[in-house]
Amino acid sequence: MAAVIATHDLKKNYRRIEALRGVSLVVETGEIYGLLGQNGAGKTTLIKILLGITRGWRGQAELLGHTAGTVAMRRRVGYLPEDHHFPDYHTAFSLLDFYGQLLDLSRAQRRQRIPLELERVGLVPRMHTKIRGYSKGMKQRLGIAQALLHDPDVIFLDEPTDGVDPVGRREIRNILLDLKGQGCTLFLNSHLLSEVELICDRVGILQKGRMIREGDIKSLTQQKGRFLIGLAQGQQMPLADLQSRGYQIAPLGERWEVQLEEQQNIDPVVDLLRAQGLSIRHLVEKRQSLEDMFVETVQEGNKGRT
C-alpha cells in the first residue's frame, strides 16, 4: 500500500513551547487511523501542519505524496474541524451549495452531490431548515457532509461524534466504515475511545508532542500472558494440578484467569484439561479496553518524565 500520510521527526515550536517533538508516523491507503492524546498533546497541531494551516515546522511531513501544505493537494482532502461554527442563517442545502462553490464544483455537480451527502448523514428531511434550529448532533452530521462533498481521497475528522447521541454515533461509525470500504483514508482525533476502538485499524498516542505508543488495536489491547478459560457447566478446574506445575490461576466470574510467567505457554494447561476429560468451552487471550490501555500508557509516560 502507498503512504497517504507520512511524517518523520516532525517538530513545531510556538516560541518556547514545543508542540511537536520529533513525531514520525505513516498512514496507508484505506486505513482508519486514530490519533489519541490528552488536551495539549499536539494532535490539532499535527493535523494543521498536514493541511497546510500551520507553517514554520521542521522535519518531514507529506500528504498524498507531496510536501504538507501544497495547495493543489487540498482539493483531494476533506476536513471537519473541532468546534466548527456554520453561519446559522444558512440551511443545510444552501451551506453546502456555498462550500461547493468554494471547492469549484459546477452547479450541476452541486445539485447532484448535495442531496446525496445529506442523505448519507440523515439530514434530507431538514435540508431546507435553518441551521439555527439544529441540535449539536445535527450540526456535526452537517460538518461531515461538507467534508465529503467533493469526494476526497483522505478525510481529517476532529472529534467527529462530539455531541452525537448513541444512535447517531453508530450511524456515523457506519458511514466511516463505508468510506473505508470505498478506499478512502481517514485520520481522526477523538476522546471517545470506545468509538475509536470499534472503527480504527491503528492508533497512535501523543503525549506532550511525542509519539509514545503506536500499533493496531488488537496488539495494543491484548494482555500478554493472561488467558481466560471456561469449562462446560458443572465441571471443576483442577487447581491443585495446575498450581503444582507452576501456573497461577484464579476464578473470574464463571471462568478462570491463567497468568503465565515469561517462560510458560498455555499449551500444557490445555493438554492437562483434555487429559482429564474436561470440555474447554472458552479460551481467549485476555484484552483490556482501549481506554484502559490509553490511561495506563499516559500514566507510564508521566512517570518516565518525572
**Domains in the chain: ranges and CATH:** 3-208 (3.40.50.300), 222-287 (3.30.70)
Number of H helices, E strands in the chain: 10, 14
pTM of the model: 0.79
Contact status, residue 238 vs residue 258, Cβ threshold 8 Å? no
Q: What's the rounded mean pLDDT across residues 148-168? A: 88
Residues 122 and 171: beta-carbon distance below 8 Å: yes
Per-residue pLDDT reduced to its tens digit, 240-290: 999 998 888 888 888 888 888 877 888 999 999 999 999 999 998 777 778
Higher pLDDT, 159 or 111: 111
Tens digits of per-residue pLDDT, 162-219?
778 888 888 888 989 999 999 999 999 888 888 888 899 999 999 999 999 999 988 8
Position 306 pLDDT exceeds 50:
no
Rounded CA gap, 156 and 172, in Å?
A: 14
**Residue 181: predicted pLDDT:** 92
3-state DSSP assignment of residue 100:
helix
pLDDT, tens digit, for every residue of 5-31? 999 999 999 988 999 999 999 999 999
| Chain-centre distance for alpha carbon 244 | 44
